[in-house]
Amino acid sequence: MTQTQVRDTGGRPVLVIGGGIAGVTTAVEAAEAGCDVILVEKLPYLGGRVARLFRYFPKLCPPGCGLEINFRRIKINPRITVLTQATVDDISGSPGDFQATITVAPRFVTDACTLCDKCAEVCPVERPDDFNLDMDRTRAAYLPHRLAYPPLYVIDRVACPSGCTACRDACAYGAIDLTQQPARRTVKVAAVVAATGWAPYDATKIDNLGFGRYPNVVTNVMLERLAAPDGPTRGRILRPSDGQPPASIAFVQCAGSRDENHLPYCSAVCCAASLKHVTYLRDVYPEARITIFYIDLRTPGRLEDFLQKVTADERLTLIKGKVAGVEEDPATHDLMVTAEDVMGGRKITQTVNLLVLATGIVPQTDGLPAGFALDEYRFVAHSNGGTGMFAAGCVTRPEEVSATVQDATGAALKALQAVVRSAHHG
Amino acid sequence: MADTLVVTPDITFIREVMASGGEDLKKCYQCATCSVVCELSPDEAPFPRRQMVYAQWGLRDRLMADPAIWLCHQCNDCSTRCPRGVRPGDVLAAIRQQVVLHYAAPRFLGRWLSQPRSIPLVLGIPAALLTLALLARDRVADALGLSVVPTGRIVFAYSSLFPRWMLNGFFGFFALLAFVAILVGVLRFWRAMRAAVPADRRGQPVAGLISSTLSALARIVTHRNFASCTTARSRFVSHVCTMFGFIALAVVSLWVITAAYNPLIRGDFVYPFSFWNPWKILANVGGVAVLAGCCLMIRDRLRENGSASSSSYADWALLFTLLLVTITGFFTEGLHFMRLEPHRHVAYFVHLVFAFTALMYLPYTKFAHLAYRGAAMVFAERYGQTREASSMAPVNRQDAQQEG
């Protein structure tokens, strides 16, 4: 299995854009088959959206479970070049002979970093913690998260006071270089794989559900952080308004998905995600009253068993009918959610302490270099031809982690074919 | 689940609803967003989600007996929020057309009037009838010993061609027919609604017929339902203008028609009125209001077209009929004040044709909404199906759940 046993493909490298589970999988699969890989990630760490989950399907293990082994595969494989805080600006050329321009933003921290945390201790300013979806703050000198790979601190220079050198002065290893400049490099590659993944739909656009107006309306991705032990509430899932444990929680399915005014397509994973969230809540709050408002509960394949298991919970109510009105009690910050109970044939208003919007998946195709064909919903259309430009993961369609990994393995194979072709012809 | 529901879809009905504004009916996936965003939808009998599935399934009879179809004022709050772009507001409007056709007596008149290709005959028949009346005028006058020359307190007729007795007789006869037709339709509708309410406690009246009627009338006069619309906000203004303008014109017309028998009028009753006569002012203000209301409605319908709502033939037919009645009325008035012969006779003739079209076809066109919606609103008051009555219901199942 190690790269030394594999014959070199002899061609140009593969460029993988995006360092989430799709990009990381594509990179290690291609590299372990003998091909050089340049893995470009715009954030300072790999792992993408999966790193921000509390647990994930199918085994409901923490993200470290799958990511750590992959990080290790990257670390020991000299064929993989990881560029974090990097973006691909432009791709030109033809299959087998692409030229890509990459901009790498400075990290201001070198490989000499030992994660001693001294820089963060002396740092005088804070910044919103984007890893925790801005629900708490870090210093401007920070480690993105506990399992960050590469395991290096980062300096957010935008947040720094001008002229401040406190972190550099405090670093005993000389690992901080505040003079670093953005670097631009041009690489020749044989194939490109877009694995830029997804972003949660902007819930403030769903104006009748109160997100952004009422503090106790959160999204499903926020709930993952609230449930995570390294999240803003250390896994205790507390209400944003008062830090109290919620006694009643409701989920709004299809918050923005399957809606021509928002995302016309089904985001595919939100139903299973909400059921998973019920298990998070149940672990912390055995007595909490939980309601899921849904249009259709879509749990294909083996998830059907998971649905049966979760819905056996007696304090979980499923109501067929989409929540279309949310109001807040200004005194308690509780939420009054209104839906028509389709089975009961009447409108109901339920008061809950916490409301979770099951927001959907938006493909991250805006920053992609030209050359990728997009479909009508702005996902990358799969290409099987000889374009040399492929895609994997949620940038191609909404899908769960395991499907993404399979997708990424397929993309690696397509990229390898392009590399081998170019090695023979070029 | 003990009851078995055998669904017998009325395919023709589904097709007709889809053809007259509800083309995306089948896209509805029953999320019930519509029922929640609707400001008029009552908690205990929400609409239009349920009506959407009935329409998809072709459950025609249920919809024909459902007052909720008429409680909808087509604000289109549901249509702008609908995640599937189905426009439930338009679907309910299409079902309302079907209700009018369903209860039309005789039924073929409704079918005939609902087709654009009938327009020449629709206008041709009143024109022919009026012409016949004119041709027979002298003979009838002789036989009845009446005068064709304006007599009595009328000093200068709108048109010397049309003596009062003839107009009153002609329009009175057809108005009686129209009245009987709409009365039959509404009574059948009421009976169907009554038969459809459950036999248990919920099916018992909560208010007397008179108090229900008064409440519904108050609701109609104040336009309270229109006022709650968000999307079609301007519909409040346009409907107020059209409705009160029309009422003003109707009052003045009745006053004139009954003048000869009115004990309140002593001395000379000079008709046509002079321009500054209070009755004339009321009529002119009413006419302008109808004109303004119709123009606003036409503007809104053109603006909404394809987005929040699309308009059907029935919508345009009523709007343009009312618009043309008013325009030809003002035209006749102008020519009359200018004493232009024979132009004012021609204009008056055309005006009468459109007035006939508006009023005598009322039971078969969208104009019938005043009777059916009125009946449905009274019914909703009587059986506690208004939003207000519903939200006062003592037992809320959700509350019970919370306590338990």
pLDDT at B158: 67
Q: Search chain B and give the residue with CA nearest A347.
A: B43
Asked if A339 lies within 8 A of B397 by C-beta distance, the reply is: no
pLDDT at A209: 97
pLDDT at B277: 87
Do A260 and A275 sit in the same domain of this protein? yes
Give the pLDDT band (50/70/90) at residue B264: confident
pLDDT at B394: 40
Do A210 and A346 sit in the same domain of this protein? yes
Closest CA to A119 of A174, A78, A65: A174
Do A31 and A124 sit in the same domain of this protein? no
Closest CA to B232 of B30, B370, B87, B43: B87
What is the distance in angstroms between the Cα of B339 and the nearest Cα belonging to chain A? 59
Do A368 and A355 sit in the same domain of this protein? no
CA distances in angstroms from A25 to A82, A182, A254, listed in the order given: 13, 27, 29
CA–CA distance, A193 with A415 (Å, rounded to integer): 7
CA–CA distance, A160 with A123 (Å, rounded to integer): 9
Which amino acid is present at A187?
V
pLDDT at B404: 33
Q: Search chain B and give the residue with CA nearest A323.
A: B33
**B392 in A contact zone (CB under 8 Å):** no
pLDDT digits (tens, 9 = 90+) for B355-365: 999 999 999 99
**B62 in A contact zone (CB under 8 Å):** no
Asked if B83 lies within 8 A of A346 by C-beta distance, the reply is: no
Asked if A340 lies within 8 A of B401 by C-beta distance, the reply is: no
How many domains does one find in chain A? 3
Q: Search chain A and give the residue with CA nearest B39.
A: A325
> Contacts of residue A321 in chain B, CB cutoff 8 Å?
31-32, 36
Q: What is the domain range of residue A308?
A: 202-360
Give the pLDDT band (50/70/90) at residue B401: very low
Among A169-173, B249-253, B261-265, the minimum mean pLDDT is found in: B261-265
Within 10 A of B54 (CB to CB), how many other CB atoms are there? 19
Give the sign of the dihedral formed by CA A238, CA A242, CA A247, CA A248.
negative
Do A208 and A332 sit in the same domain of this protein? yes
pLDDT at B157: 62
What b/e string do you get for A112-144 counting C-beta neighbours within 10 Å, with b at 16 or more? ebeeeebbbebbeeebebebbbebeebbbbbbb
Q: Search chain B and give the residue with CA nearest A289.
A: B402
Mutate which: A340, A350, A351, A353, vs B, most B CBs within 10 A = A340
ipTM over 0.90: no
User: Of A260, A339, A350, which has the smallest distance from its Cβ to B32's Cβ?
Assistant: A339
CA–CA distance, B355 with B353 (Å, rounded to integer): 6
Asked if B32 lies within 8 A of A349 by C-beta distance, the reply is: no
Q: What's the mean per-residue pLDDT of chain B?
A: 88
Per-residue pLDDT of chain A (426 residues; tens, 9 = 90+): 444 456 666 789 999 999 999 999 999 999 999 999 999 999 999 999 999 999 999 999 999 989 999 999 999 999 999 999 999 999 999 999 999 999 999 999 999 999 999 999 999 999 999 999 999 999 999 999 988 999 999 999 999 999 999 999 999 999 999 999 999 999 999 999 999 999 999 999 999 999 999 999 999 999 999 999 999 999 999 999 999 999 999 999 999 999 999 999 999 999 999 999 999 999 999 999 999 999 999 999 999 999 999 999 999 999 999 999 999 999 999 999 999 999 988 999 999 999 999 999 999 999 899 889 999 999 999 776 678 999 999 999 999 999 999 999 999 999 999 998 887 765
pLDDT digits (tens, 9 = 90+) for B10-63: 999 999 999 988 889 999 999 999 999 999 999 988 999 999 999 999 999 999
pLDDT digits (tens, 9 = 90+) for A11-20: 899 999 999 9
Asked if B32 lies within 8 A of A322 by C-beta distance, the reply is: yes
pLDDT at A81: 97
Q: What are phi and psi of B287, to 5 degrees?
A: -60, -45
Q: Reduced to 3 states, what is the DSSP secondary structure of residue A274? A: helix
Which tokens is B375 given?
């009946």
pLDDT at B151 over 60: no
Do A206 and A339 sit in the same domain of this protein? yes
Mutate which: A294, A347, A349, A351, vs B, most B CBs within 10 A = A347
> Contacts of residue B43 in chain A, CB cutoff 8 Å?
346-348
Within 10 A of B191 (CB to CB), how many other CB atoms are there? 11
Angle between helices B49-56 and B88-103 (to 10 degrees): 60
pLDDT at B361: 95
> Contacts of residue B84 in chain A, CB cutoff 8 Å?
259-260
- For residue A150, whether the previous peptide bond is cis, meaning omega lies within 30 degrees of 0, is yes
Asked if A325 lies within 8 A of B36 by C-beta distance, the reply is: yes
User: Of B32, B82, B396, which has the smallest distance from its Cβ to A340's Cβ?
Assistant: B32
What is the distance in angstroms between the Cα of A261 and the nearest Cα belonging to chain B? 6
Cβ atoms of B85 and B27 within 8 Å: the answer is yes
In a domain, A134, yes or no: yes
Give the pLDDT band (50/70/90) at residue B399: very low
Share of chain B above pLDDT 70, in %: 90
From the number of C-beta atoms within 10 Å of its C-beta (0-12, 13-18, 19+), residue B339 rates as: exposed
Task: Compute the residue count for chain B.
Answer: 404
Do A382 and A239 sit in the same domain of this protein? no
pLDDT digits (tens, 9 = 90+) for A249-293: 999 999 999 999 999 999 999 999 999 999 999 999 999 999 999
Do A191 and A241 sit in the same domain of this protein? no
What is the distance in angstroms between the Cα of B219 and the nearest Cα belonging to chain A? 23
pLDDT at A2: 47
Q: Reduced to 3 states, what is the DSSP secondary structure of residue A216? A: coil
Do A225 and A276 sit in the same domain of this protein? yes
Give the residue from A322, A345, A360 where a domain finishes.
A360
pLDDT at B186: 97
Asked if B45 lies within 8 A of A346 by C-beta distance, the reply is: yes
In a domain, A175, yes or no: no
A19: domain CATH number is 3.50.50.60
Task: Compute the residue count for chain A.
Answer: 426
Do A403 and A310 sit in the same domain of this protein? no
Task: Give me the total of CB pairs closer than 8 Å, taking one residue from chain A and one from chain B.
Answer: 78
User: Of B36, B81, B84, which has the smallest distance from its Cβ to A340's Cβ?
Assistant: B36
pLDDT at B268 over 70: no
Do A344 and A264 sit in the same domain of this protein? yes
Q: Search chain B and give the residue with CA nearest A297.
A: B31
pLDDT at A241: 96
Q: Which are the contacts of A165, defined by CB distance < 8 A and separation ≥ 6?
A: A178
Do A257 and A231 sit in the same domain of this protein? yes
Q: Search chain B and give the residue with CA nearest A339.
A: B36
Asked if B33 lies within 8 A of A322 by C-beta distance, the reply is: yes
Asked if B46 lies within 8 A of A347 by C-beta distance, the reply is: yes
Angle between helices B343-360 and B313-337 (to 10 degrees): 150
The ranges assigned to domains in chain B are: 11-105, 111-389
